[in-house]
Structure 1
Amino acid sequence: MKYVLVLDVGTTNMKVAIVNEIGDIISQEVKKINLIQSAEGVAEHDPQELWANFLDISKKIITNFEGDISLLIFSGYQFGFLPIDKKGNPLMNMVTLLDTRSQNIMNEVEERFSFKEIYQKTGCPPAFNYTIARILWLKKEKPEIFAKTYKFLDIKSFFTFKLTGKCYTEPSLASVTQLLNIKTQKWDEELIKRLGIEEDQLPDLVPGNVIVDTVKKEIAIEMGLEKEVPIMLGVYDGGAMILGMGGYKKSAVCNLGTTAMFRSAYNEPLLDKIGQYRLQTYALLPGMWAIGGAVNNAGVVLEWFRNNIANGMSYDQINEEASKVKAGSEGLICFPFLTGERDPRIGSLSTGSFFGLKTYHNLSHMARSIYEGVGYGLNMIKTALEENDVNLRRLTVGGSGSKSDVWVQILADIFNIPVTKSKTENATLIGESMVAFSQLGVYNDIEQAGEVMIKLGKCFEPQTSSVKTYEAYYNFFVQMIQNYRDMYNLHTQLINSLGGGENWQ
């Protein structure tokens, strides 16, 4: 029996697990990551804390498996952004997806680049989360850091630098720089030049399914390993979830975590043919792309609701409250855009709101409307796929939000397709392990690995009466977004005119 060590760095938690070749998670350690936030839009991780956490939980989990690990493979979040100097020292904290400080730089991005050209080359719609906007923001707001920057790292290149002394990344993370040519899966020289940086300031780009290096001997000892274990970069956390829940062959997956995604693995890079940038296409592995999209606001909205409205009640209690209300929340609609959105139809300046609030609405209505609002946002992605000739037969859902039967049933009703729960809570770990064992020769390819390693649970069928209700509310939701777009811009101008969000009352 072979074993692989999987590192998964998320926005909220870090996981290190040992997985065997039939998809059993033999051992796992989880450690919460402190998210550093402020009213100015800061949302960062301390890189030294990330490294210390990794060493700490690796030592715990490797005990009794010291000589049995065949491979170390990575999973991690997209949109990580960390400048380092020539000695490899971080010049600031690791910027995460939830950081909104670069949203006001989009006018400058548009002056330098054609959004249409960027989308056609990279598969990325215009949004402030991508590395182009982060670098221009850094140059404008923190010029002293920009001047000292030797390399711009993401979450995997940071860890590979610590483990090997070299900075490697792979196409699924490089895709969200807006600097990767989606067709060639190589850095785009013209875009890099126009940004005003050098290609050697970016990590070395390697496929995620090849062994690139080994853990340095002194680090291996510190981790508790008996040998220098080979390293494979894998794919980003959402991509691993696509693989680990079987999101191929006209199937898609939805991850309900802090953020959420609706994606499928496809054999070509699909772009929105009507030019609305509704689809975000990322490279996964050679000959495989992740198509679909993602939303910034899912579990983060529920957490905000729990902490600020629901007086800290448990998520099980929130589910019970939501189940008391019928489909449509009696006219209450949540627009869950607390941290802005990637979809250009909504925009980075969007904010959260409840629409249609009446005296008879209560906490239960608000809870259910949050579930529904996230579902409507995800359905915008499903609709875009259908309008680009991708018709899906089924959906598998995972992530912490999938523990809620109420939420999963709502998704089945909004999407009007069967939705199956992933039986494995940590499908990301399984997806990365499928990549690893396919390359180690245990399986011929990803699909053969999935036949053995993927485990699915309960299936939720759409309820006819609710489907009709949600179709009407979804259409209204989309229409309201069209009306809200200009108001988001005016609202931002108002706040800025009054001295910024932290002073606005």
Structure 2
Amino acid sequence: PQYILSTVNKGIKHIVKSYGAPEAVVLATYLFGLALMNRSKGFLTNIYTWADERAIEVVKEIKEHGVELYRRTGCPPIHIYALPKILWLRKHRKEVIYEADLYLDLKSILTNHFLHRAVTDMSSASGTYQMFNIYSLRWDDYALGVAGVDERMLPEVVEADYVEYIPLGIAAELNIYDKIPLVIGLFDGASMIYGLTGGGSNIAVVNLGTSAMIRTVIEKPIIDNINMMRFQTYYFYREKWLSGGAINNAGIALNTFIDILASGLEVDKQRLFNDLYNYRFNEDRKPLFLPLIYSERIPFLKTDIGGSIIGLKPDVKAIDIVASCIEGIAMLLKVIWEALEDNDISIDDVRIGGKLSSIPFVRVMLANLFNRKTIWTDIVDVSHLGNALLAATSLRYSSAKQIRDFIDYVIAKNFIIPEKKYVEKYRERYQIFKKYLYSLYSS
């Protein structure tokens, strides 16, 4: 944690030196990070991230609580959340649990640093802890009981547009000598959604980065059938929620597979990436790729057997398998899409971001796989744009309508319309993909 805080300080100082003092600081952090702290002694642990799989063993032990936790928090029983991490620590690092009196997510690590008070926003609390009730918008007593945590050990929870001024002494350490507001901000995925939609409903936002997600804004909390729990529902912002899900096996799985190709064969990694930008759909050559290389956060799938490639033929090229890997990533998201539709959550169009969305083949593939108009943007990091727009409304620089008009003008101008022949091809491929997915990986 100290390294992150030091890096943030250096980044702000660099901005101040290069461009002058900013008008505000807004925080964007990822979900699922957890660090334990003692108010007197400081940090007791490093940050446990979403990639830490040690809590998997604990999830099996608390299976009896899974349904009730999902009903209350919108979080299915999977290992990425803070609750199973805390139980794992209680089992394996009792001395740390004994000393800890603060359980901090990434957002509250930063606010504790800047404000000397642990505060997080509701979207981050909802998506990180598995202990935030999506109906009452308070820490949930049942979940706290399962975790063995007192509410006083958790950060204060506020809306994402909450503003508080950084104390002058802290600001001076950043070479800022005026009052400067700190806007709490959304988690990175939620801020991307805000940057692409302005909080509008009936729009699926897809992010294809190291991990991948598909989420949509809804007007009330909705959860899946408790026997499936195929998607999560987190609180978003100002009486709106986010339903959808995320997968671990996205860019990280693609990079791992390309590394395997490059290390075992005479394959030029950079050339593969370059070839992707010119790739076109080739139904005759492409195999199916179920890219479950890492443990997944989809509770109804058993993913510890690893990924699968189906349909290898003599004329298949390395680039065909790489493209199939990206298709497999998108098809895992399609599983979540279908779960949303099963619960009467309608989607009119798709807006995409993340590094992989810069590849033309990927944009076309998503439009045809989802059979929706698909909007893409050249803006490199939409999550930063989203939190900047949120800060603009928080500080009364812009109205919500002005933000939505800006997004429609700047973001929504680049789009792809699905083509009937490719929609049908992808429908057929997806049905085959789903057949193998459930037959090989059903838990």
The two structures have a TM-score, normalised by structure 2, of: 0.92
Question: Quick one: distance in 1 between partners of 2:252 and 2:363?
Answer: 17
Q: Paired residue for 2:32? A: 79
Question: Quick one: distance in 2 between partners of 1:144 and 1:274?
Answer: 36
Cα distance, 1:222 vs structure 2: 2.3
Equivalent pairs, count: 436
Cα distance, 1:361 vs structure 2: 2.5
Q: Secondary structure at the match of 2:352?
A: strand
Contact 1:209–1:435 at 8 Å: present in 2 too?
yes
The share of aligned pairs that are identical, in percent, is 28
Question: Quick one: distance in 1 between partners of 2:296 and 2:132?
Answer: 22
Cα distance, 1:317 vs structure 2: 3.8
Q: Are residue 448 (structure 1) and residue 399 (structure 2) matched?
A: no
Q: Paired residue for 1:261? A: 213
Contact 2:209–2:250 at 8 Å: present in 1 too?
yes
Give 5+ residue unaligned stretches, structure 2. Answer: none
Q: Paired residue for 2:436? A: 480
Provide Cα deviations, 1:141-196, integer angstroms capped at 9, x if missing partner: 22222222121111111011111111111111111311000011110112202321
What is the letter of the counterpart of residue 467 of structure 1?
V
Q: Secondary structure at the match of 2:42?
A: coil
Q: Secondary structure at the match of 1:92?
A: coil
- Structure 1 residues 359 and 145: alpha-carbon distance in aligned structure 2, compared to 1, 3 A threshold: farther
Provide Cα deviations, 1:290-347, integer angstroms capped at 9, x if missing partner: 1111111211122223333246845674252585563457352211122222222224
Question: Quick one: distance in 2 between partners of 1:315 and 1:163?
Answer: 41
- Structure 1 residues 86 and 441: alpha-carbon distance in aligned structure 2, compared to 1, 3 A threshold: closer
Contact 1:322–1:365 at 8 Å: present in 2 too?
no
Contact 2:276–2:359 at 8 Å: present in 1 too?
no
What is the letter of the counterpart of residue 171 of structure 2?
A
Q: Paired residue for 2:150? A: 198
Question: Quick one: distance in 2 between partners of 1:224 and 1:337?
Answer: 47
Q: Paired residue for 1:235? A: 186
Q: Are residue 186 (structure 1) and residue 150 (structure 2) matched?
A: no
Contact 1:83–1:91 at 8 Å: present in 2 too?
yes
Q: Paired residue for 1:51? A: 5
Q: Paired residue for 1:414? A: 369
- Structure 1 residues 329 and 102: alpha-carbon distance in aligned structure 2, compared to 1, 3 A threshold: farther
Q: Are residue 287 (structure 1) and residue 243 (structure 2) matched?
A: no
CA RMSD in angstroms comes to 2.2
Q: Which runs of 4+ in 1 moved over 4 A?
A: 311-316, 321-325
Q: Paired residue for 2:228? A: 276
The two structures have a TM-score, normalised by structure 1, of: 0.81
1:24-43 map, 5 Å: none
Give 5+ residue unaligned stretches, structure 1. Answer: 1-46, 490-505
Q: Secondary structure at the match of 2:78?
A: coil
Contact 1:329–1:365 at 8 Å: present in 2 too?
no
Q: Paired residue for 2:47? A: 94
Contact 1:295–1:341 at 8 Å: present in 2 too?
yes
1:258-337 map, 5 Å: 258-273=210-225, 275-310=227-262, 313=268, 317-318=272-273, 320-321=275-276, 323-324=278-279, 326-328=281-283, 330=285, 332-337=287-292
Q: 1:424 aligns with which of 375, 379, 385?
A: 379
Q: Paired residue for 1:136? A: 87
Contact 1:131–1:178 at 8 Å: present in 2 too?
yes
Q: Are residue 346 (structure 1) and residue 298 (structure 2) matched?
A: no
Question: Quick one: distance in 1 between partners of 2:330 and 2:274?
Answer: 15
> Larger % of strand: which?
1
Question: Quick one: distance in 1 between partners of 2:157 and 2:271?
Answer: 43
Question: Quick one: distance in 1 between partners of 2:219 and 2:167?
Answer: 36
Q: Secondary structure at the match of 1:282?
A: strand
Q: Secondary structure at the match of 1:286?
A: coil
Q: Are residue 385 (structure 1) and residue 336 (structure 2) matched?
A: no
1:99-178 map, 5 Å: 99-111=52-64, 113=65, 115-176=66-127, 177-178=129-130
